[in-house]
Copies of this chain bind each other. A is one copy, B any other.
Amino acid sequence: MTSEIPSSVTTPKTDDIAAQVTAANKLAVERMLAAEPVLVDVVNAQEAIPELAEGRKILHAGPPIDWSRMCGPMRGAIAGIAVFEGWAGSLADAENMAAAGEFEFHPNHHFNAVGPMTGMTTRSQPLMVVENRKFGNRAFCAINEGLGKVMRFGGNDESVLKRLAWLRDVAGPLMQQALRGSDGVDVKNVIARGLTMGDEMHQRNVACSGLLLRELSPHLARVSKDADQLAELLAFMGGNDQFFLNVGMATGKSIMDPVRDIPMSTIVTAMSRNGTDFGIRVSSLGDRWFTAAVEMPQGLYFPGFTEKDANPDMGDSTIVETIGLGGFAMGASPAVAGFVGAGAASDAGNYTRSMLDICFSENPEWSIPGLDYQGVPTGIDIRRVVDAGVAPVINTGIAHREPGIGQVGAGIVRAPMDCFTDALEAFALQLGI
């Protein structure tokens, strides 16, 4: 069509820039598609991230934030993890210490890590390791705690800390031995199969969790020295439909990190929220976060809760939307549409189709049978988001706004458009336009 436009409208300069951006975005998506994410290990956090060994560092979900602006469930999780790490004797002590500046807060994203919801990462937790074998980088995420009262939703009572101790002392070491005795788990393949089995890998991970158990259970059986511990871990993994979520998140991080810092690329490399701010990063714009107030999910609430109880959107889990899953793959998961209140199951494909409009490409290896093997939308382009006026759609869990309570529902939410317009302005400014 451009050939029909008078040459006075498209100057050589903007033409040239458009071609450079297209080439840069093509490279970005090529790197995404070339990724070879493999779950290879579980390691202690301070081994994975040596900086955690010193001081009282707490990594959290989303862009940077200080204690004074943190939402309720994030504060609840901070207090709980400080007790878990032995830095505070009680939740109240921990809150006082936090207010007095005795903890250092950093985003997970600044340390090759991601975490769901509150996203607590501290020195003694076991972290799963996904290695992108194509580019040699590694990404980390804690082991999923299961449903109910859990720290990622702001839970911090005795039962929550006890489970974290079990993950550290039993589950983590067993998974470590099992993975080290295996060739690793090819996560790209697991996700491809999951998409044919109704998972979108954000609010529905039941298929991938089962596929992961299939791969890991023989290795776990070989390394276990204690039948009861083995049975307990198998039951924990098998009883947690969201077990795979954290693997998918580390996978997303491992795929997107090599896409950072491509000059001229307008592809989004991270989307993340801390419960107060939503932040995005863009390939050619370095490590800068473009933030806006995070939105409130529209969704369905568990019995006894309403939207008045809900905290705004939270977590690093939007890394899965960044790689074309979650809300972007809703068409693969008609069953999730009802769970997140996204309308009729048969309309789930419309979400996927609309996300194609804001993405540079699609992923032929991650395709959706029910949409006649449409590949998932891949490579969110800030130009397309702004041009189309369509913000990325996200499937998300909803936490109670008060600390210590936990999950109250699930829903869908949009990334705030201001993140994308601000980033596009910064991109233009950088080019001197």
Interface set of A (CB-CB < 8 Å, partner B): 193, 196-199, 206-207, 210-211, 213-215, 217-219, 221-222, 224, 227-228, 230-232, 234-235, 237-239, 334-335, 337-338, 344-346, 369-373
In contact, A227 and B221 (Cβ under 8 angstroms): yes
Q: A197-B197, A338-B369 are in contact. Are A228 and B234 (CB under 8 A)?
A: no
Tell me the nearest residue of chain B to A214, going by C-beta. Answer: B238
Question: Chain B residues near A234 (CB, 8 Å)?
Answer: 217-218, 221
In contact, A370 and B370 (Cβ under 8 angstroms): yes
Question: Chain B residues near A211 (CB, 8 Å)?
Answer: 210
In contact, A217 and B213 (Cβ under 8 angstroms): yes
Q: 22 pairs across A/B with beta carbons < 8 Å?
A: A196-B198, A197-B207, A198-B207, A207-B207, A210-B210, A213-B238, A214-B238, A214-B239, A221-B221, A221-B230, A221-B234, A222-B227, A222-B231, A334-B369, A337-B369, A344-B372, A345-B369, A345-B370, A345-B372, A346-B371, A346-B372, A370-B370
Question: Chain B residues near A217 (CB, 8 Å)?
Answer: 213, 217, 234, 238
A198 and B196 alpha carbons, distance in the complex (Å): 7
Q: A217-B213, A346-B371 are in contact. Are A206 and B228 (CB under 8 A)?
A: no
A324 to chain B minimum Cβ distance, whole angstroms, is 19
Query: What is the total number of copies of this protein in its complex?
Result: 2
A217 to chain B minimum Cβ distance, whole angstroms, is 4
Tell me the nearest residue of chain B to A193, going by C-beta. Answer: B206
Question: Chain B residues near A370 (CB, 8 Å)?
Answer: 334, 345-346, 370
In contact, B218 and A232 (Cβ under 8 angstroms): yes
A346 and B221 alpha carbons, distance in the complex (Å): 40
A343 to chain B minimum Cβ distance, whole angstroms, is 10
Top 9 A-B pairs ranked by shortest CB distance?
A: A210-B210, A214-B238, A334-B369, A218-B235, A221-B231, A335-B369, A218-B231, A221-B230, A196-B335
Contact of A218 among B210, B214, B238, B373 (CB under 8 A): B238
A196 and B372 alpha carbons, distance in the complex (Å): 18
A195 and B234 alpha carbons, distance in the complex (Å): 24
A197-B199, A197-B206 given; name 7 further pairs at CB < 8 Å.
A210-B214, A213-B217, A213-B238, A217-B234, A221-B234, A345-B369, A346-B370
A232 and B206 alpha carbons, distance in the complex (Å): 24
Tell me the nearest residue of chain B to A333, going by C-beta. Answer: B369
A341 to chain B minimum Cβ distance, whole angstroms, is 14
A82 to chain B minimum Cβ distance, whole angstroms, is 33
Question: Chain B residues near A193 (CB, 8 Å)?
Answer: 206
A26 and B146 alpha carbons, distance in the complex (Å): 43
Best-buried of A206, A217, A337, A373 by chain B (most CB within 10 Å): A217
Question: Chain B residues near A196 (CB, 8 Å)?
Answer: 198, 335
Tell me the nearest residue of chain B to A347, going by C-beta. Answer: B372
A398 to chain B minimum Cβ distance, whole angstroms, is 22
A132 to chain B minimum Cβ distance, whole angstroms, is 25
A372 and B345 alpha carbons, distance in the complex (Å): 5
A70 and B20 alpha carbons, distance in the complex (Å): 69
A198 and B334 alpha carbons, distance in the complex (Å): 11
A211 to chain B minimum Cβ distance, whole angstroms, is 6
Tell me the nearest residue of chain B to A217, going by C-beta. Answer: B234
Question: Chain B residues near A198 (CB, 8 Å)?
Answer: 196-198, 207, 369
A331 to chain B minimum Cβ distance, whole angstroms, is 10
In contact, B206 and A231 (Cβ under 8 angstroms): no
A221 and B221 alpha carbons, distance in the complex (Å): 7
Question: Chain B residues near A337 (CB, 8 Å)?
Answer: 369
A186 to chain B minimum Cβ distance, whole angstroms, is 14
Question: Chain B residues near A227 (CB, 8 Å)?
Answer: 221-222, 224
A227 and B229 alpha carbons, distance in the complex (Å): 13
A325 and B391 alpha carbons, distance in the complex (Å): 40
In contact, A238 and B215 (Cβ under 8 angstroms): yes
